[in-house]
């Protein structure tokens, strides 16, 4: 019996055969590359908590997108950091907003690159919250209806600029229905909504807050984002957004919530499911690799495959460019 070799082990002996029988596939066209554009800078600004990542000036956005596209990345997601912030995030509604201008420049340079845009107010409000807040109640009190009107208007501005996909991320009740009605009313019924349908109030967003300059002036986001302990609530949130017209679903963060990704795919197999590998996940791998505690390239690939294996069809990841360069080097 000591010489017995089971069938699965025999199929692992040759590297080519291992690849041929691999159950989970990872390819560049499954990755979406987030980019951050800051209105007030003229040179790239490195972010300490996200090694290798930069806030980009508007003058660099087309070059960065073109470089990503040349590496085989098929989609980017844009976040804007305006100079002016106020309680209602009014800068997001300007025809020449930082994201609208970025969309135009990318589309002029790379017309076939899919441009996803974040629809939210956290980068634009002086409070740092994802919606308009009633600040004098002594608690986190979100004006839901006013926020919905602004999100719909923001989506229309970006649709007119040439954005391909809307990705509302604020977990504002009714955001999908409001954005869908706004887009349809302006003749953009063809534009899909890739909603953050299950976004948890996670501690993994810290580096993103530095990158997007969306730190809170008061309170937290626990009243409108999902409780980290509640998996079933995520399924209900998916169902609500589906009923409002969401075209694609998303779980965020990804690596901490693989069980939610799996449960979502099992419950809604007919929907394309995205997962967002967030800034904290990126930062931890980068920090551990810098200290020599793990192999960065192997960890990048394993983390992405884990998200795919759990059931995600598409992954928003800050590792998109790293992985693309790894593929090229093989």
265 in catalytic set: no
CB 30, CB 65: distance < 8 Å: no
Using alpha carbons, select from 73, 30, 76 the residue that is nearest to residue 275: 30
Calpha distance 180→193 (Å, rounded): 8
CA–CA gap between residue 34 and residue 78 (Å, rounded): 6
Residue 166's nearest CA partner among 235, 87, 103 is 103
CB atoms within 10 A of CB 51: 14
Catalytic residue (one of 107, 252, 265, 321): 252
- Could you say which of 38, 85, 107, 199 is catalytic? 199
CA distance 215 to 206: 9
199 noted as active-site residue: yes
**Phi, psi of 314, deg, nearest 5:** -135, 150
d(CA 106, CA 104): 6
Q: Give the separation between CA 26 and CA 60, rounded to whole angstroms.
A: 29
Q: Which of 66, 92, 79 is closest to 37 using CA atoms?
A: 79
Backbone φ and ψ of 277, nearest 5°: -80, 105
Catalytic residues: 199, 252
């Amino acid at each position: 019996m000591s010489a017995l070799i089971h069938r699965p082990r025999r199929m692992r002996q040759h590297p080519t055969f291992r690849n041929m029988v691999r159950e989970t596939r990872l390819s560049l066209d499954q990755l979406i590359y987030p980019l951050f554009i800051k209105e007030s800078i003229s040179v790239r600004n490195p972010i300490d908590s996200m090694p290798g990542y930069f806030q980009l000036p508007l003058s660099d956005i087309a070059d960065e997108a073109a470089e990503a596209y040349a590496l085989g990345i098929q989609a980017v997601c844009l976040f804007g950091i305006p100079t002016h912030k106020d309680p209602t995030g009014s800068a997001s509604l300007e025809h020449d907003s930082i994201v609208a201008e970025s969309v135009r420049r990318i589309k002029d340079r790379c017309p076939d690159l899919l441009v996803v845009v974040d629809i939210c107010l956290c980068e634009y409000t002086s409070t740092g919250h994802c919606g308009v807040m009633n600040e004098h109640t002594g608690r986190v009190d979100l004006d839901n209806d006013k926020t919905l009107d602004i999100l719909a208007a923001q989506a229309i501005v970006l649709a007119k600029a040439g954005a391909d996909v809307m990705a509302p991320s604020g977990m504002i009740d009714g955001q999908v229905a409001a954005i869908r009605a706004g887009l349809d009313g302006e003749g953009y019924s063809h534009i899909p909504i890739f909603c953050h349908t299950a976004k948890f109030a996670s501690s993994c967003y810290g580096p993103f807050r530095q990158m997007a300059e969306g730190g809170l002036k008061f309170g937290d986001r626990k009243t409108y984002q999902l409780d980290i302990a509640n998996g079933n609530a995520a399924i209900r949130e998916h169902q609500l957004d589906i009923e409002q017209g969401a075209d694609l679903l998303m779980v965020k963060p990804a690596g901490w919530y693989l069980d939610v990704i799996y449960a979502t795919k099992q419950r809604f197999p007919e929907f394309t499911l995205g997962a967002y590998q967030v800034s904290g996940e990126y930062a931890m791998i980068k920090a551990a690799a810098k200290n020599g505690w793990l192999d960065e390239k192997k960890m990048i690939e394993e983390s992405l495959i884990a998200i795919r294996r759990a059931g995600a069809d598409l992954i928003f990841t800050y590792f998109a460019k790293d992985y693309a360069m790894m593929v090229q080097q093989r």
